[in-house]
Structure 1
Amino acid sequence: MNRRLLTILLSAFLIAAVCAFLVWRVVAARLQAVSHQSSTTRVVAAAADLKLGTLITPANLTTIEIGGPLPKGAILKPELAAGRGVVSDIYQGEPILESRLAPVGSGAGLAATIPNGMRACAVKVDEVVGVSGFATPGMRVDVLISGTPPGEQVASAATGPKVKTLLQNIQVLSAGTDIEKDAQGKPQQVQVVNLLVTPDDAEILSLATSQEKIQLVLRNPLDTKISQTPGTVVRNLFADKNPPPVKARTVSAPKPAAPVYTIEILNGATRTDQKFATPGGKQ
């Protein structure tokens, strides 16, 4: 066989082998990616709704299969979730994530949901706030205080009680009812809201609740702006905000001119007229 022809054939076979190998690599990578996407992984999920503060037991857990990449913090073994507290509501069938559970050994209840450096301060509210449902965990509120400032008893007699915004953009940690005794010693239910505050704000809030009346005001969770408010008093509620009417200007009529008198003077053959005006008149 011609040596030149043999060289050409060998070169062609070599190029074809290289091309086939490259095509095989590309196709294998595509097939592997498809197989990864279609594969499922079994993760731990909630067998029933788990409320904030619940201590998870094995009966609360089940497993489900998830296709594709796993959510960040997904738990693969039930024993890693059992015995831990829930720090955020988890619904039935929802995968349980590490971020929704308290650290291992911290237990359950409200204390496990409090971040480091923060405090939970209980505030008694009226039924409008407690029963209306807006003071739910995760909501943001402002705290208003109303009363008579110390040393202003005399001034308040004329102006009335004062209201002022005490704290702003405070997170609601939990809301519920508590049992207290009334003046006759009978037990009664009161609405209680736990607010997540700093230690300094906890002192302020505790003093305010023991001295004056407070009110919670709902705000948009996305609105984090702190407003500077001067406060107001009862007298301002009844103040007339309309401008006083403008009095019409009265234009006085012009005074009539004083009468002018003419005197005829005869001096021999000369005759002249002399005009005289009364006081205030013109000559």
Structure 2
Amino acid sequence: MKRRGALALLALGILLAGGASVIVLGIARQAGEASRAVIPQVYVVMAAREIPDQAVVTPDALVVRPFPAEFAPPGAISQPEQVVGKFAVGTIYRDQIVMNGHVTTGRKATSLSDRVPPGRVVVWLPMPDLLAGQVGFQPGDRLDILLSLKLVQSEVGDTPSNASNSNGMSTQTTLQNVEIFALGEQQQAGVKAAEGGVSARTSASTQPLALLVDHQDAIIIKYIKDSGGTIDLALRSSDEERIVRTDAVTVDSIAERFRFRVPQEVRTVPAEPRQAMQQEPRP
């Protein structure tokens, strides 16, 4: 009798557990359906990979994915056909939702300013007459700027009493590893008036060099142009970037290094005293 009662209780427990499982599954199913009903989905176009600025958007760069409608940004594009063949306005990064403002039907016209890296400026230097029309510089070439300048010793620390005997030419490397940004774009960019010093010294047949430098080096180049000295350019190897220390060259350093001798005045003896010396008897 007791055994039948235990079996009955066991069967009742199994039935209750099964019923509870059915109820839990039903609640879970209803909750899933309710969640899908509460959060509606929309389809948006996303970038499948990074699309560079001004690049043409191609079909392989796009993917369509569902997205919660409540969080979809205004202007989000839902059809790839609205994007393909247009140009990116700024970089579009991977998994970024593509919106109307991210693409345009025409490529943006580039300017010189768009090509200048932040923290750098472009200055124009006249091509030396010796190089004009004979050397095929290219943008990206690296140059050293050489300057020969007439100096007065009193300007570099000597006393005025010695200045009259110390005038002379001094040659030195000024800026090194300067990158050529462009050639002859000064007139195209309409900045001839702003760089009047260059246009005054540059003939119509020469192309000014546009050099990419930092702000301080731009001031140095301005001084080099206005100093009245002679400018020459040395073309660097594309594999060399180091700054080389050089010694300034003057007439004194040339004479000392190559052992030049200063010509001495030739002293001549007058003819009459020479004849008198010849007629004097020997003792």
Q: TM-score w.r.t. structure 2 length? A: 0.43
- Which structure's residues are more often strand, by fraction? 1
Q: TM-score w.r.t. structure 1 length? A: 0.43
